[in-house]
């Protein structure tokens, strides 16, 4: 990132401020809990040596013992489960700022896999470093809260797959991703990068890519969205939310601001 090189000339404070604005992990945690400067610096530090991973790479596989954690800095990844017959269910998206398995070390084996959906910048955090981070009360609180939000999102997804039509599910998904990306400054108004194939969307909603294709067409013909070149534009957010019956509360994004 060229921004890092430039930052150096501006002194440490400016560097931290500048980089912080672009660091999705920091931005996400600060959305939950205000962080002291020392914590912010520590969080920036762990993002320093990211690794570029191409799309479709498993970061960790079901059955393997968790080893440290991943931090997504750029791109989309997902948690997924595979069935014996080859079908895949995506159970969560990991977007920039999301971390895989902060306290996974408590369990002996992964019950699911994590895979990149697009090219990603990924930082790997060693167990010791995680432990150090967890000694910082503000960081620990933010991570705990983040975990609660992950769980709430999982419940929302379950209720999506179980009780929404495909069109509604997609609408809901787009509303969610939109908000999550906005929270970390990665959405340009109502437009953002969505590097998912229709098969990925199908594995998320529990349906077929053919059916997803037809449902997307419906959303397009209703004038709700535009989706091309891996970019999604929400043309009519209020109507999309209405259709999806989207309530953003489960993401608990405004909690700190409202408190």
Binding site for DNA (CB under 7 A): 165-166, 197-199, 206-211, 213-214, 216-217, 229
Which does residue 50 bind out of a second copy, DNA, none, counting CB within 5 to 8 angstroms by kind? none
Asked whether position 255 contacts a second copy by CB under 8 A, the answer is yes
Q: Which residue's structure tokens are 């449902």?
A: 215
Which does residue 103 bind out of DNA, a second copy, none, counting CB within 5 to 8 angstroms by kind? a second copy
Q: Which is nearer to a second copy, 145 or 220 (CB)?
A: 145
Q: Which positions from 154 through 213 interact with a second copy, judged by CB under 8 A?
A: 154-159, 161-164, 205-206
Q: What's the gap between Cα 81 and its chain centre?
A: 17
CA distances from 4 to 14, 41, 43, 74, 172 (A): 11, 14, 15, 15, 36
Token readout for 154 is 């999982």
Element (H, E) at 137: helix 137-163
Asked whether position 238 contacts a second copy by CB under 8 A, the answer is no
- The rounded distance, in Å, linking the Cα atoms of 124 and 66 is 12
Asked whether position 30 contacts a second copy by CB under 8 A, the answer is no
Burial letters for 85-118: b for 16+ Cβ neighbours within 10 Å, e otherwise? eeebebbbbbbbbbbbbbebeeeeebebbbbbbb
* Contact set with a second copy (CB under 8 A): 63, 79, 81, 83-84, 87-89, 91-92, 103-104, 106-109, 111-112, 141, 144-145, 147-148, 150-152, 154-159, 161-164, 205-206, 245, 249-250, 252, 255, 258-259
């Amino acid at each position: 990132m060229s921004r890092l090189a430039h930052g150096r000339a501006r002194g440490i404070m400016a560097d931290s401020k500048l980089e912080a604005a672009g660091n999705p992990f920091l931005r996400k945690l600060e959305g939950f809990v205000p962080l002291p400067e020392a914590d912010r610096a520590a969080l920036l530090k762990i993002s320093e040596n990211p690794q570029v991973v191409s799309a479709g790479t498993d970061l960790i596989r079901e059955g393997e013992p968790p080893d440290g954690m991943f931090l997504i800095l750029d791109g989309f990844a997902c948690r997924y489960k595979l069935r014996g017959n080859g079908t895949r269910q995506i159970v969560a998206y990991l977007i920039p700022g999301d971390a895989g398995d902060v306290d996974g070390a408590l369990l002996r084996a992964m019950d699911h896999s994590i895979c990149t959906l697009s090219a990603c910048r990924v930082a790997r955090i060693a167990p010791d470093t995680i432990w150090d981070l967890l000694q910082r009360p503000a960081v620990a609180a933010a991570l705990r809260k983040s975990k609660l939000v992950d769980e709430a999102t999982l419940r929302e997804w379950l209720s999506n797959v179980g009780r929404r039509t495909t069109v509604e599910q997609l609408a809901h998904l787009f509303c969610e991703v939109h908000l999550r990306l906005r929270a970390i400054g990665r959405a340009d108004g109502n437009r953002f990068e969505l590097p998912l194939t229709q098969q990925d969307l199908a594995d998320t909603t529990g349906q077929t890519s053919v059916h997803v294709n037809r449902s997307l067409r419906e959303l397009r013909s209703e004038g709700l969205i535009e989706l091309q070149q891996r970019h999604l534009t929400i043309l009519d957010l209020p109507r999309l939310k209405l259709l999806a019956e989207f309530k953003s509360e489960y993401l608990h994004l405004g909690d700190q601001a409202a408190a």
